[in-house]
Amino acid sequence: MKLIHIAYPACGPFAPLLLPLISHYSSQGLLKSQLKISLIDIQPGAVKALNQLINDLGISPYIHEVICDDVMNYQPDYPIDILVIEALQHGFSREGHLAFARHLLSFLSPDAIMVPEKISVTASLNIGQREYVDQWAEQERTHSSLMSTEIQQERTVLGEIFTLTLDKLRKLTIVPLGSCMELVECNQVQIPTGIQDISKKNLLLSVTATTFGNEQIKEYDSGISQPMVDMSLCIDFIPKIAEPDDLLAKSGERLKFYYKLTGSPSFLPTIA
Ligand SMILES: C[S@@+](CC[C@H](N)C(=O)[O-])C[C@H]1O[C@@H](n2cnc3c(N)ncnc32)[C@H](O)[C@@H]1O
């Protein structure tokens, strides 16, 4: 029987995408001799909690190793068959998801899979008050199924700016910026002309994660899929108080996106 090595980098204190499932398999006496799980987190407190949880759930036979280190130093001793990774905040920002996945790429087995298998980021424009306030005023919580059709029709969808799959990860175009920063080249989109109130609309970056097959985490289903507003884009207006990262754009122009691979990564819109 083939052993399956699952690695979960930056898994946090609860490794929430995996441990409940392993606990379920364990209670059914399943897969014990088939799974080899590696959990990696940089925080000693998270690792302590993880070890306690593994003991409490009685799932140590499934665990290959729990490592307290930076993912970027992790050199697995077995090829990774399943890479489980959720190291992003909304708008695919702030955490090292892409850097971690890139680092681990060379350790994947030839038929490895990644979970989520696809993360896509879409850019759109909407008035912040409508999107974030009016849309949820009558709702008890946010969820994709509770989005307002009327307010969604007010959105101007620009298009997909980035997709992460294993295949795309292997083909990223990396552009060095100076000696210490790298940018990932992303897609171009066009700002349409003739959109009413476009100068009042903000750039929204929304993540949809396809965990596997038809299972998706859509916009507003989770903190990581709340649309993130990027206030730097100013379309058809000049801000009264200028900020250093303002991007002055006009209707009809094309925007080219890059992804900054820094300690706090995020997208960088530019005029194409
Ligand atoms: C990636 S997130 C989300 C984790 C998990 N999915 C959850 O919901 O709890 C936060 C975790 O990543 C860990 N982390 C951040 N940067 C890391 C790095 N470079 N190497 C290893 N772990 C890291 C943090 O210590 C923290 O526990």
Residue range 215-239, pLDDT digits in tens: 999 999 999 999 999 999 999 999 9
Long-range contacts, 212-218 (Cβ 8 Å, 24+): 212/115, 212/116, 212/117, 217/116, 218/144
Tell me what percent of the residues of the chain surpass a pLDDT of 90. 94
Higher pLDDT, 177 or 248: 248
Element housing 103 (H / E): helix 97-104
Pocket test for ligand 1, best of 8, 11, 75, 261 (most atoms within 8 A of CB): 11
Residue 48 CB–ligand 1 contact under 6 Å: no
pLDDT at residue 179 is higher than 90: no
Residue 73 CB–ligand 1 contact under 6 Å: no
The pLDDT value recorded for residue 124 is 98
Residue range 8-53, pLDDT digits in tens: 999 999 999 999 999 999 888 888 889 999 999 999 999 999 999 9
Q: What CA–CA distances, in Å, run from 209 to 59, 111, 218? A: 28, 21, 7
Closest C-alpha to ligand 1, atom 2: 87
Residue range 100-155, pLDDT digits in tens: 999 999 999 999 999 999 999 999 999 999 999 999 999 999 999 999 999 999 99
The pLDDT value recorded for residue 48 is 98
The pLDDT value recorded for residue 45 is 98
| Fold observed for domain 4-84 | Rossmann fold (3.40.50)
**62 pLDDT tier (thresholds 50, 70, 90):** very high
DSSP per position, 185-251: EEEEEEPPSS-TTGGGPEEEEEEEEEEETTEEE-TTSSGGGSPEEETTEEES---SS--TT-EEE-T
The closest-lying atom of ligand 1 relative to the alpha carbon of residue 43 is 25
CA of 66 to the centre of ligand 1 (A): 13
Structure tokens at 233: 């884009």
The pLDDT value recorded for residue 133 is 98
Residue range 154-172, pLDDT digits in tens: 999 999 999 999 999 999 9
Query: Could you give the CA distance from residue 175 to residue 154 in angstroms, rounded to a whole number?
Result: 35
Pocket test for ligand 1, best of 14, 41, 224, 264 (most atoms within 8 A of CB): 41
Q: Where are the beta strands (DSSP E) in the chain?
A: 4-9, 35-41, 63-68, 80-84, 108-115, 118-126, 156-164, 174-177, 181-190, 202-212, 215-217, 228-230, 233-235, 247-249, 254-260, 266-271
The pLDDT value recorded for residue 31 is 80
Residue range 242-262, pLDDT digits in tens: 999 999 999 999 999 999 999
The pLDDT value recorded for residue 128 is 97
Domain ranges of the chain: 4-84, 118-126+155-271
Query: Could you give the CA distance from residue 257 to residue 251 in angstroms, rounded to a whole number?
Result: 17
